Chain A
Amino acid sequence: MELRIPLSREDIEPLRSGDVVRLHGVLYTARDAAHARMKQALERGEPLPFDPEGQVIYYTGPAPAKPGHPIGPAGPTTASRMDPYAPLLIERGLRGMVGKGVRSREVVEAMRRHGCVYFGAVEGTAALLAKCVREAEVVAYEDLGAEAVRRLLVEDFPAVVINDLHGGDLYREGRERWRRR
Chain B
Amino acid sequence: MREVRVEEVTAAVRDACIEANVSLGVDHLAALRRALERERSPQGREVLEKLLENARVAREERVAFCQDTGYAVFFVEVGQEVHFTGGSLPEAIDEGVRRGYREGYLRKSIVKSPVERINTGDNTPATVYYEIVPGEALRFTVLIKGAGCDNMSALRMLTPAEGVEGMKRFVVETVERAGPNASPPVTVGVGIGGPFERAALLAKKALTRRSGEPNPDPAMAGLEREILEEINATGIGPAGYGGTETAIAVHIESAPTHIAAFPVAVNLDCHSHRTLSFEL
> Interface on A for B, CB 8 Å cutoff?
18, 33, 60-66, 69, 72-75, 77-78, 80, 100-102, 120, 122-128, 130-131, 145-146, 160, 170-171, 173-181
Given A122-B47, A178-B243, verify A60-B181 contact (CB < 8 Å): no
Say yes or no: is B153 at the interface (Cβ < 8 Å to chain A): no
Q: Are B236 and A73 in contact (CB under 8 A)?
A: no
Say yes or no: is B8 at the interface (Cβ < 8 Å to chain A): no
- Which residues of A sit under 8 angstroms from B270, Cβ to Cβ? 123-124
Alpha-carbon separation in the docked complex, A131 to B50 (Å): 13
> Interface on B for A, CB 8 Å cutoff?
40-41, 43-44, 47, 50-51, 53-54, 57-58, 61, 63-69, 105-109, 117, 119, 121, 148, 151, 179-181, 183, 230, 233-237, 239-244, 270-272
- Name the prevailing secondary structure of the B interface residues: loop
- Which residues of B sit under 8 angstroms from A78, Cβ to Cβ? 148, 151, 181
Given A128-B57, A171-B240, verify A100-B180 contact (CB < 8 Å): yes
Alpha-carbon separation in the docked complex, A143 to B65 (Å): 25
Alpha-carbon separation in the docked complex, A174 to B237 (Å): 8
Q: List 11 A-B contacts (CB under 8 A).
A: A63-B107, A73-B65, A74-B67, A102-B181, A123-B183, A126-B65, A127-B63, A145-B108, A145-B121, A174-B241, A180-B233
- Which residues of A sit under 8 angstroms from B235, Cβ to Cβ? 174-180
B103 to chain A, nearest CB (A): 11
Q: Are B230 and A72 in contact (CB under 8 A)?
A: no
Given A75-B66, A127-B64, verify A101-B242 contact (CB < 8 Å): no
Q: Are A101 and B179 in contact (CB under 8 A)?
A: yes
- Which residues of B sit under 8 angstroms from A126, Cβ to Cβ? 54, 58, 64-67
- Which residues of A sit under 8 angstroms from B51, Cβ to Cβ? 122, 124-125
- Which residues of B sit under 8 angstroms from A62, Cβ to Cβ? 67, 107
Alpha-carbon separation in the docked complex, A74 to B117 (Å): 22
B245 to chain A, nearest CB (A): 10
- Which residues of B sit under 8 angstroms from A74, Cβ to Cβ? 67
A85 to chain B, nearest CB (A): 16
- Which residues of B sit under 8 angstroms from A73, Cβ to Cβ? 58, 63-67
A128 to chain B, nearest CB (A): 5
A112 to chain B, nearest CB (A): 20
Closest A residue by C-beta to B151: A78
Q: Are B54 and A124 in contact (CB under 8 A)?
A: yes
> Which of A66, A122, A130 has most chain B Cβ within 10 Å?
A122
Contact with B105, one of A33, A64, A123, A124 (Cβ below 8 angstroms): A64
Given A100-B239, A128-B53, verify A75-B67 contact (CB < 8 Å): yes
- Which residues of B sit under 8 angstroms from A123, Cβ to Cβ? 66, 148, 183, 239, 270-271
Alpha-carbon separation in the docked complex, A160 to B241 (Å): 9
Contact with B63, one of A63, A173, A177, A178 (Cβ below 8 angstroms): A63
- Which residues of B sit under 8 angstroms from A125, Cβ to Cβ? 50-51, 53-54
Closest A residue by C-beta to B121: A145
A65 to chain B, nearest CB (A): 7
